[in-house]
Copies of this chain bind each other. A is one copy, B any other.
Amino acid sequence: RDDHVTLSHGSGGKATHNLIEGIFAPAFANTILDRMEDSATITLGDQRLAFTTDSYVVNPLFFAGGDIGRLAVHGTINDLAMAGADPLYLSAGIILEEGFAIEHLQRIVDSMARAAHEAGVLIVTGDTKVVQRAKADGIFINTAGVGSVRASANLGQALVAPGDRVLLSGSVGDHGIAIMLAREELDIETEVSSDSAALHTLVAALLDRIGTRLHCLKDPTRGGVATALNEVALSAEVSIALDERAIPVHEGVRGACEILGLDALTIANEGKLLAFIAPEAEQEALRALRAHPLGREAAVIGTVQAEFPGMVFLRTDIGGTRVLDMLVGDPLPRIC
């Protein structure tokens, strides 16, 4: 066990997983948190609610396809959507560094307001703190969210079963590579935009079509598709077999990954979802996703299996099979 926090603890990959399992989960343990879903699902009276939080520390604050404010709204909406919830209310917890330009704050706040308005959610409560220079990095934003779980939703990692199909709603790696390119430490000539988007209407379309044949949703954010699938495999005690050729990767992302020696499957996305679906609903689900503007490139990328629980296997382009692990280390700190 490490003595000190490292950047890898924030990667969303293996070190984050170990930190959460080693420190937070045991201390806070309760039957809701223990499920380790994207959102907590809580029942109050006749209401099933989803409740979630994320902090955003992305660097830089502005990038192709978005900014920290837009990300902070979309990201929390998406964790609510992964519980099958209609997002309703958000909080905005802002930590500012002394000296931060009010003009930049205004742009970010306007961007949050626009993203919330577009998605039909209200920011109903907030908090504003300031720390001295060099005690933060411009601005950090925490959003928490509350949503109402749709009547047709019954989702969870525990419901993933052998035979289930794994669907991905579109291309991988766009967000992470867009951030990396925005850092301008690299001299790569390609145009990649963040995929930052609110996925709740895509989820609603899927639930309307296939109801409880949808078993689980997960947004492959930090740690990418590889990490998200490993988490599901561990939690559901299944293995997952992926077909690399089926996974959409945009040209610019593929090129940047080759140059940088990165695996697009470990790179963060902010507008994609993985859906675990009863086999008989595969084609219906695919049609539902593809009919939605955010799911046009949706694909069936794999199958859930009973043997080798906890493992993810990748049938590669060139015909071999390899084990696909969670992200190890942190090639792209502060991606969201």
Q: List residues of chain A with CB under 8 Å of any chain B CB.
A: 1-10, 16, 19-20, 23-24, 27-28, 30, 32-33, 39-40, 42, 44-47, 49, 51-57, 88-89, 91-103, 105-106, 109-110, 112-113, 116, 122-132, 134-137, 140, 142, 144, 146, 148, 333-334
Contact = CB atoms under 8 A, between A and B. Distances in A.
Contact of A137 (B5, B100, B112, B135): B135
Contact of A5 (B2, B88, B100): B100
Nearest to A97: B5
Contact of A125 (B46, B51, B116): B51
Contacts of A113: 27-28
B125 A39 contact: yes
A3 B131 contact: no
List of 3 A-B pairs having minimum Cβ-Cβ separation, nearest first = A10-B130, A144-B144, A40-B124
Nearest to A15: B130
B123 A9 contact: no
Nearest to A2: B102
Contact of A142 (B100, B109, B142, B146): B142
B51 A130 contact: no
Nearest to A54: B127
Contacts of A40: 89, 91, 124-125
Contacts of A131: 10, 57, 137, 140, 333-334
Contact of A52 (B5, B27, B91, B100): B91
Contacts of A32: 89, 122, 124-125
Given A6-B98, A136-B135, A92 B53 contact: yes
Contact of A4 (B24, B99, B122, B129): B99
Contacts of A8: 130
Given A28-B116, A333-B132, A102 B1 contact: yes
Contacts of A135: 136-137
A123 B126 CA distance: 19
Nearest to A75: B127
A252 to B, nearest CB: 27
Contact of A24 (B5, B39, B126): B126
Nearest to A136: B136
Contacts of A16: 128
A134 to B, nearest CB: 5
Nearest to A25: B126
A92 B24 contact: yes
B100 A28 contact: no
Contacts of A124: 30, 32-33, 40, 42, 51
Contacts of A39: 125
